[in-house]
A and B are shown apart, each in its own frame.
Chain A
């Protein structure tokens, strides 16, 4: 898989946009514009953006709770306005302010999002089964966190997906922390990708801070799935800069995570390090970087304005909505 110059710039632009939208959502929560809560994606953009960017419009995508899928939405090429408006509780949101923070864009292969960790395993199994039955070479990218990997639903779904050779790419965003509990305290091995061996599928560990490495690994797994060769498990080692949920304490068990620890994580920031790489290679210039940043800021400002100016939903939007 060789990425062209334009592809690389596009990936960088998407990461910057995802970071800006994440910052906007955090600020929105602090300012009372975001009505629910937020689980920041910062430190994980290379994975959330890079993985989704591999997919075609007709492919399916299950994001997980980090960033409420913002990286995946932008990675797949969607306009983030509906994301912000949904968080603001407005009728112009992805789900008219009803889900509050769960996105659904079925036309683009995003069938919804749920509030239980690990829920996506069995649903992605069924989605993959449908994709295989339909025979249109669609692929399912099913993302989850290291915490989600502890769910029993993982076993049930990965097991059958492998037996049935379904076109599913399982992607684990391993940032090392499940809410306030380090993954090393709930999983007995170093690599979650080792689980793949039990299901007779490839298990790949990738540097989740390097978007090119992520893109290439996901691309290969997606092509494998598209050809009918079955699922792959990819584990990306990422970082979580902020607390599990905005406003909640940033602790490991009960111990506050130190500033030094966070600073250490940020040394290899996925957005900054990709920028440096592209600058060094002469693919980006400082002027281009400034322009990309400015555009991302403008996009965030426009999304904020759109969200603020949109009306809240009339209560009638939920009338007769329980059933189709």
Chain B
């Protein structure tokens, strides 16, 4: 194993896949320099034809990647901020997601749409979102949401090799997160949740940066409550079996995500647990998610986004 950080793990996944398959290329706004560092340094090895800077035009970025994917390439479109997916909704949601199906399987769209999501930088309503529900709701898009350097590298490599469109949301609040990854090559299959901490009293299903907040709370409460933290790692496909198995063991569940609460990821996971594991529950499920308001910037951000105190409160509530 070797030490790395989250953004370097993403960078390494891209580098390895660019070396492995010449059909892979990276396209986006300022990807040569790299806004968040995830694509930095690649142009020196792979050149401008494979690490392509575009105009500041999201429909062109997404459309160029999707159109090239339909023509036999395996592009990674870097949309910069996850919020910007909305700009290219026609390309990503209506075309990449649907075209394999509506054209009876005659067309494949092996594209990765990569973007940084999440708060913590205090940069407000249009640069802090976690629009996971947007992708999860739209048929035809897979969705990976890694919380560690290990998961980020393994899931991104799998995403690039997938013959379907994959939305890969990395979290800008985790860019500098340290962690270990193997020296040798590895892939992580989609649809396999990872139990980030074992426990017996309550299941906390947590996503992306919320995994770390939940682990922090679990550690704080360890002498009172034994908390199990389950990280789905991909939301489509969703490993509901592992989540239900954990709920069956603990009988109690809290779901934590940074997307809006209303119609958000927590609502979908809540519904699936109730549909498939109602009898295992000893208490109503609690949800911790972003408030149903736009994300306020600066000092106010923490009043909108989930905080460790909110998670602790929810855990105590299900334990009552």
Taking Cβ atoms with an 8 Å cutoff, the residues of A that contact B are 60, 94-96, 98-99, 102, 104-106, 111-112, 114-116, 119, 121-131, 133-134, 152-153, 155-157, 159-160, 163, 317-318, 321-324
Q: Is the CB of A127 within 8 A of B60?
A: no
Contact of A111 among B63, B90, B94, B107 (CB under 8 A): B107
Contact residues in B for A159 (Cβ distance below 8 Å): 55, 57, 60
CA distance A133 to B25 in the complex (A): 11
CA distance A318 to B101 in the complex (A): 8
Q: Kindly report which residue of chain A lies nearest to residue B96, judged by CB atoms.
A: A123
Q: Is the CB of A126 within 8 A of B70?
A: yes
18 A–B contacts, CB within 8 A, in A order: A95-B102, A99-B102, A99-B104, A111-B107, A114-B99, A119-B94, A124-B67, A127-B70, A129-B64, A131-B71, A133-B73, A134-B71, A156-B55, A156-B59, A157-B59, A322-B101, A323-B100, A324-B100
> Is B175 located at the chain interface by the 8 A CB criterion?
no
Contact residues in A for B106 (Cβ distance below 8 Å): 95, 104-106, 112
A162 to chain B, nearest CB (A): 11
Q: Kindly report which residue of chain B lies nearest to residue A320, judged by CB atoms.
A: B105
Sorted nearest first, the 10 A-B pairs with minimum C-beta distance are A122-B63, A126-B67, A130-B71, A104-B103, A156-B60, A156-B57, A123-B67, A126-B64, A126-B68, A130-B68
Contact with A along B69-108 (1 / 0, CB 8 A): 1111101000000000000101100110001111111111
A125 to chain B, nearest CB (A): 5
Q: Kindly report which residue of chain B lies nearest to residue A317, judged by CB atoms.
A: B104
State the majority secondary structure of interface residues on A: helix
Contact with A along B9-42 (1 / 0, CB 8 A): 0000000000000000100000000000000000
Contact residues in B for A104 (Cβ distance below 8 Å): 99, 103-104, 106-107
CA distance A252 to B65 in the complex (A): 38
B48 to chain A, nearest CB (A): 11
Interface centre among B64, B66, B105 (most CB of A within 10 A): B64
Q: Is the CB of B72 within 8 A of A119?
A: no
Q: Is the CB of A324 within 8 A of B164?
A: yes
Q: Is the CB of B63 within 8 A of A157?
A: yes
Q: Is the CB of A127 within 8 A of B67?
A: yes
Q: Is the CB of A322 within 8 A of B139?
A: yes
Contact of B71 among A60, A94, A152, A318 (CB under 8 A): A60
CA distance A95 to B63 in the complex (A): 22
Q: Kindly report which residue of chain B lies nearest to residue A96, judged by CB atoms.
A: B104
Q: Is the CB of A133 within 8 A of B70?
A: no
Q: Kindly report which residue of chain B lies nearest to residue A111, judged by CB atoms.
A: B70
CA distance A99 to B105 in the complex (A): 11
Q: Is the CB of A322 within 8 A of B60?
A: no
> Is B131 located at the chain interface by the 8 A CB criterion?
no
B27 to chain A, nearest CB (A): 8
- Count A-B contacts at CB 8 Å: 141
Q: Is the CB of B103 within 8 A of A160?
A: no
Q: Is the CB of A126 within 8 A of B94?
A: no
Contact with A along B126-149 (1 / 0, CB 8 A): 000000000000011010000000
Q: A157-B63, A160-B55 are in contact. List 11 more A-B contacts (CB 8 A).
A: A94-B104, A98-B104, A114-B90, A114-B95, A119-B94, A121-B63, A122-B59, A125-B67, A126-B64, A126-B65, A318-B101
* A95 with B103, Cβ < 8 A, contacts A123-B63, A123-B95, A159-B57 known: yes
B71 to chain A, nearest CB (A): 3
Contact residues in B for A129 (Cβ distance below 8 Å): 64, 67-68
> Is B216 located at the chain interface by the 8 A CB criterion?
no
Q: Is the CB of B105 within 8 A of A321?
A: yes
Q: Is the CB of A98 within 8 A of B102?
A: yes
Interface centre among B49, B90, B142 (most CB of A within 10 A): B90
Q: Is the CB of B71 within 8 A of A119?
A: no
* A102 with B102, Cβ < 8 A, contacts A60-B71, A126-B68 known: yes
CA distance A119 to B103 in the complex (A): 16
Q: Is the CB of A125 within 8 A of B139?
A: no
> Is B62 located at the chain interface by the 8 A CB criterion?
yes
Contact residues in B for A318 (Cβ distance below 8 Å): 101
CA distance A134 to B22 in the complex (A): 11
* A99 with B103, Cβ < 8 A, contacts A133-B49, A159-B55, A159-B57 known: yes
Q: Is the CB of B72 within 8 A of A134?
A: yes
Within 8 A of A (CB), among B273-312: none
Contact of B70 among A116, A123, A153, A321 (CB under 8 A): A123
A130 to chain B, nearest CB (A): 3
* A322 with B63, Cβ < 8 A, contacts A112-B70, A123-B70 known: no
B274 to chain A, nearest CB (A): 24
Q: Kindly report which residue of chain A lies nearest to residue B107, judged by CB atoms.
A: A112
Contact residues in A for B107 (Cβ distance below 8 Å): 104, 106, 111-112
Q: Kindly report which residue of chain B lies nearest to residue A152, judged by CB atoms.
A: B59
Contact of A98 among B66, B71, B101 (CB under 8 A): B101
Q: Is the CB of B95 within 8 A of A119?
A: yes
CA distance A126 to B94 in the complex (A): 16
Contact residues in B for A160 (Cβ distance below 8 Å): 54-55, 57, 60, 64
Contact of B72 among A98, A130, A317 (CB under 8 A): A130
